[in-house]
């Protein structure tokens, strides 16, 4: 993983937290995203111009805003996102605090947004919200290489929960995936049920999850992908049991 920090020894507090939650081996560590030299210089230039013009309120506001970024704040720059075999530890992007979550207990929500400017696709902005009983953390492009850590989180949740979820499903439990419920009877959405024999596939596009009914071109049900927890687990379950 080119954008990760070499796997150096963890700080004592992080190592203790990882041991407490039994997170296993460290697999990757990510630093905060930083601006390039040109962009960073432009920020300093703007601050200097405002100061020269004696626009004091604007100077104060601008300086405080810059302090949110790791380039202008050592505390922000020292924050890290650590991925482990059985979970993750993330420094909160705003304020202080470090949160640990386990993959086998988490509900992971992911949103991807890509802006199109003058017909040219911009970078993809990732937001992952990981919640467990008593803990919650939001991870965004504040950390480098979101295209690596975001799918890594989804794969880790699938590995940790896939077997347990399938066992619960076969035991007759109703599985809660936000706007969708899965059971041996089929997929339920807003009190409507689509039997597995009529589920053709699930499509992802435009930030949405669309369930397609066999023989129909229009989607049977649709929900925003960011509202479906543990999306890869949901997709794996539907793919396994659709048309069965």
pTM summary value:
0.84
Please provide the DSSP assignment of 189-225 as one string. Answer: ETTEEEEGGGEEEEEEETTEEEEEETT-SSEEEEEEG
Question: pLDDT band for position 34 (50/70/90)?
Answer: confident
Strands (E), the chain: 26-30, 81-84, 87-91, 98-102, 107-117, 120-132, 135-140, 175-177, 180-183, 186-189, 192-195, 199-205, 208-213, 219-224
pLDDT at 165 over 90: yes
Residue given tokens 């407490």 in the structure block:
20
Q: CA-to-CA distance for 141 and 210, rounded, in angstroms?
A: 26
pLDDT at 51 over 80: no
Mean pLDDT of 214-235: 97
């Amino acid at each position: 993983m080119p954008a990760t920090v070499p796997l150096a020894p963890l700080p004592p507090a992080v190592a203790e937290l990882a041991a407490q939650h039994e997170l296993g081996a460290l697999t990757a560590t990510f630093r905060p995203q930083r601006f390039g030299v040109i962009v960073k210089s432009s920020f300093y230039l703007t601050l200097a111009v405002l100061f020269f013009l004696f626009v004091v309120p604007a100077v104060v506001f601008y300086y405080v805003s810059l302090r949110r970024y790791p380039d202008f704040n050592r505390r922000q720059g020292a924050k890290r996102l650590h991925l482990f075999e059985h979970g993750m530890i993330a420094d909160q992007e705003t304020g202080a605090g470090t949160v640990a979550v386990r993959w086998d207990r988490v509900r992971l929500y992911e949103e991807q947004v890509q802006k199109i400017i003058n017909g040219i696709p911009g970078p993809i902005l990732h937001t992952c919200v990981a919640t467990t009983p008593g803990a919650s953390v939001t991870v965004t492009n504040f950390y480098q290489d979101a295209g690596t850590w975001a799918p890594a989180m989804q794969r880790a949740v699938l590995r940790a929960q896939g077997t347990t979820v399938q066992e619960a499903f076969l035991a007759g439990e109703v599985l809660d995936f936000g706007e969708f419920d899965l059971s041996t009877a089929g997929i339920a959405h807003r009190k409507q049920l689509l039997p597995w024999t009529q589920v053709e596939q699930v499509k992802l596009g435009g930030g949405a999850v669309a369930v397609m009914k066999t023989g129909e071109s229009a989607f049977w049900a649709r929900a925003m992908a960011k509202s479906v927890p543990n999306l890869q687990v949901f997709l794996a379950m539907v793919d396994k049991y659709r048309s069965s």
